[in-house]
Amino acid sequence: MAKYSCPFCPGFAHTSGGIPNHLEWLLISAVEHDAFPETIQSSNLYRESGKLYKCVSCAAIAVFWGGMKDDPIWYQPHD
């Protein structure tokens, strides 16, 4: 199971696991969305979307802006 260590706590973000992965969100801009045809296969939409994963401990988020080949940018939640 792939995971990335959280920089804010001892937790981590899983980037693999169950389907659906309850700690994964898909990101797509409105412009990118409008460029898709009216009907699209979900696998194509998944492949073209950015990925966001949530830390299992502190709810920080890891965003893969450049795709899964690059390291994520982490964002810390505020109270």
| DSSP three-state, residue 39 | coil
DSSP string, 58-75: T--EEEETT-TTSPPEEE
Helix extents (H) in 11-78: 30-35, 42-48
Over residues 27-50, the mean pLDDT reads 85
Residue 14 scores a pLDDT above 60: yes
If one compares 38 and 62, the residue with the highest pLDDT of the two is: 62
Residue 10 scores a pLDDT above 90: yes
**pTM exceeds 0.75 for this model:** yes
